[in-house]
Structures are given as C-alpha cells and as structure tokens.
Amino acid sequence: MMAAVEGPTTYLSNNPLEAYTSNAVDYNHYAGSTELMKLPLTNGHSEKAQTLEDGYVNKDKTDSVTTDQPEEPKTLHDESPNTRGMEQALQIRASQIVAASTDAGDPPTIRHPTTTAKQVISAKQFLVGSHDAVSHLRSPVPKIMNLAPTVLPGATKLKRRLEETNELIVCPGVHDGFSARIAMSVGFDALYMTGAGTTASRLGMADLGVAQLHDMREHAEMIANLDPQGPPLIADMDTGYGGPIMVAKAVQQYIRANVAGFHIEDQIQNKRCGHLAGKQVVDLATFLSRMRAAKAAKDELQSDIVLIARTDANQQHGYDECITRLRAARDIGADVGLLEGFKSKAEARHAVLDLAPWPLLLNSVENGSSPLITVDEAREMGFRIMIFSFATLAPMYEALRGNLEALKNEGKVRTRKELTPKKLFEVCGLQDSVKLDVLAGGTTFKEGI
C-alpha cells in the first residue's frame, strides 16, 4: 500500500533513484538506504527542516523544528497494510508512479506513516527505528519495521544449499555476460564460469594457462553481479596464479567480487584444460600449500565462499593418488572435492563412496576425456554439484559458424524473425532498466522502445 501527502517535498540526495520517484511512494522502498530524505510537515509548522546524518545534527544547514508532541509514538504492527507481505509492501508499479506524477505536477513526497513531524533523517536509521539518532527531536520517531528484502551473498546461498539440503546443484558453464543472462532466463539457480570459456571469449585463445587473475576476477565479478538476487556463481581459479601469497590474493579478490565458490587445482603453473592430454601436476606438498593459503584467506575475511579442491592427478598418477590428495585437502578445510578426468562411471561412483560424506563436484565435458554422465546418474551416485563446462561455448560455436557461413556463401544470415533486437535486449535486462528509469522519474522511454 502506498501513502502520499499533499504538498511538495524535495530530496537532499544525489541518488537518481531517490531524487525523483513520484507523488505516491511506498516509504519502505527506501529501506536500507543511507541517503537523506525529507519528510513533509503536515501540522503547519516552519517549512525549514532539521537534518540528521547517521545520528548527528547538521546545525550549519538547518534551523530547529518545533513540532507537536504526539501522545504516544506509534509502531507499525504486522496487521498494518504496510507489513502484510514484503513483496506487496515493496512493489511499486511503474504505471501508478507515472499517473501520480502526471496528476500532481509537484516534486515527489514521502509521508512518514505515523507522525506529523517534519524531519530529515537517515533512512537507514529511520527504518530500523533508532531513537538514539533522533533523540534531540521534540517529537520521537516511531519504530518502523524494516521491510527491505534480504539480499544474501551468493556464497551464503551456495553454502546453505550444500549444508541444509541433499539436492544436486546443476550449473551450466557460462563464458560471458550474455550466456549467463540466457542461463538465468531459462531458470538455472546456479552458474559456473568456465576457465576454458573465459579464455576463449575474453582472450580468443586456447585454455593453456594464459588467463591470469585479473582476467578471471573481472569476468567473474561481472557475471556474479548481473543480478544482485540472482543465482550463485562458481568460478574457475586455475592454480591460484602463483605461490601462497598470490593464492590468498586471488581468493580475497573473488570474495570481494561476490563469487560464491571456486576450485583451485594441483596442475603446474603452465597448466592446460583438464580434458587435454599431457597434464602435469605438482607434488602433494605444493598442492596442500595452495589449499592452506586459500583457506587462510577465506577465514581472514570470514567469508562463506565455497572452497573446492580439484585434483588432475588421475591422468598422471592414477585414482588412488587423487583420493589421497582430496582427503588431505578435506582435512585442511576444503568444502568440496573435484576429481577431474574420471576414466569410467564406476570410478566416479567409487569416488563419492570413498570420500563420503564430503560433497563432491562432477565436471561434465561433452566429448571430453571422461564418459558422459547424465544429471540423473550423477544425482543417483551422490554428487552434490555438477558443472557443464562447455554447455554454452560449444553450441555458440556451432550457431555462430552456421550463420557466418550463410552470410559468406549466401549473402544473408539465418536469424529467425522473432529474434528482434528488442527480444535479445530483454534477455539482458531491458525491462529492469525501463523500470529503473520510470522509478527515477526519467522520461527516456516515454515514447516507447
């Protein structure tokens, strides 16, 4: 339910979302904001405002306010229309906003739901009901429920799913922002940023260890933050890009980039794709050094990021050495194990049993060096995460090559009529951008798209 008040009220904010919205705005839309907002005076007192920022009065900019002392400060209860559901309270339809702004013709206003005092306060302090922040106002500020949706970090989402469920988390491999958007539009609730795909799409090169930390971190950060409430992203971290110091730095950067989980492997620095021949791995001590550095960096930042220990030793040293390495990594504190390059389905099944109840991740690479295992088979075997590293890269190659060959040989492409530019942009969040512009009072899309 939206509350409006007659009379103009301005904002002391440079944030476009808060600078112009409408004459009818749900106050709880601003939950969690630290910007200042002005509440209208409806009891006839001075139009000057008192400004508070994080609990302090800015006396240089404002004069004091005299307000009528209410008998009792009110509190919104669960039966209030503003608290009947987070989604209902927070939703503001663009059509209502446009109509309200057009009819009133005044600058936007926000009405304090339970008091008539005119105050300029920190929205964050207001919504959590902090009386300390406004103790020197003659009219107390009522306690308001914070109805803002909780946006959990991707790492926390992934960790909870591993700890609180027995589900198999299926992650399509994505290699850029567009493939990630498509995967989200299809409905996947977790994603995997493939190192091979990143190297191919970002650098135009084969997966031979040429992608460095800045390549992988920037790519992962972009994908992980396409949607703040979107699916968690697991990202390749290769070998950690150096010794223990570089491994720790890489983990810190992935955490700050909102990556939910990462795998770090035991190949030599001059590594290659796990499904190519000729792989070489470091000794056990070096591998565990990487694990300790990653765990230490994770613990220092108190992050829920999921640490996945990957071994590629099967090709060079055999299955038993892989199990030894993964057990040692588990004992150090790795959250999940990944044995790359299973030689048979039976070997994959045994690995789950040999390392139970520790969760394992299965990497499925079509036409790679391992047998193809379906999602249902992986679930029955007991794997907890399954990634499809080439799920978007290989089909993209086929589609692009087919269209480019048609253009070269026939002078035209074969794009279906329904795939208009607008349709493709809708996959990339076009409607979210339109909604944001309308909420901000913009007119960019007034004439349509």
| Strands in 5-129 per DSSP E | 36-38, 52-53, 56-57, 120-122
Position 31 confidence tier, pLDDT thresholds 50, 70, 90? very low
For residue 137, pLDDT beyond 70: no
Residues 59, 60, 65, 69: what is their CA dihedral angle, to the nearest 10 degrees? -10
The pTM score is 0.68
Classify the phi-psi angles of 278: left when phi > 0, otherwise alpha if psi is within -120 to 50, otherwise beta: left
**Which has more confidence, 48 or 285?**
285
CB 439 within 8 A of CB 432: no
pLDDT of residue 151: 82
Q: Which residues are catalytic?
A: 273
How, if at all, do strands 169-174 and 120-122 pair?
unpaired
CA 334 to chain centroid:
22
Q: Is 372 exposed, middle or buried (0-12, 13-18, 19+ CB in 10 A)?
A: exposed
* Of 242, 238, 201, 213, the residue nearest 338 (C-alpha): 238
pLDDT in tens, 240-297: 999 999 999 999 999 999 999 999 999 999 999 999 999 999 999 999 999 999 999 9
For residue 312, pLDDT beyond 60: yes
What does the pLDDT average to over 347-376?
A: 96
pLDDT of residue 150: 74
Least confident segment among 78-87, 239-248, 293-302: 78-87
Residues 263, 264, 269, 270: what is their CA dihedral angle, to the nearest 10 degrees? -30
Least confident segment among 97-111, 189-203, 243-257, 298-312: 97-111
For residue 135, pLDDT beyond 50: no
Least confident segment among 95-104, 162-171, 355-364: 95-104
Quick one: DSSP state of residue 128? T
CB 110 within 8 A of CB 92: no
For residue 173, pLDDT beyond 70: yes
Cis bond leading into 357, ω under 30°? yes
What does the pLDDT average to over 204-222?
A: 97
pLDDT in tens, 401-445: 999 999 999 999 989 999 999 999 999 999 999 999 999 999 999
For residue 42, pLDDT beyond 70: no
Handedness of CA 237, 242, 247, 253 (dihedral sign): negative
* Of 100, 120, 105, 115, the residue nearest 8 (C-alpha): 105
Mean of per-residue pLDDT scores for the chain: 77
For the chain, count helices (H), then strands (E): 17, 12
Taking residue 132's Cβ as centre, other Cβ atoms within 10 Å add up to: 8
Q: What is the DSSP string of 85-115?
A: -HHHHH---HHHHHHHHHHH-S------SS-
Q: Which residue type occupies 376?
A: D
> How far apart are alpha carbons 437 and 443 in whole angstroms?
7
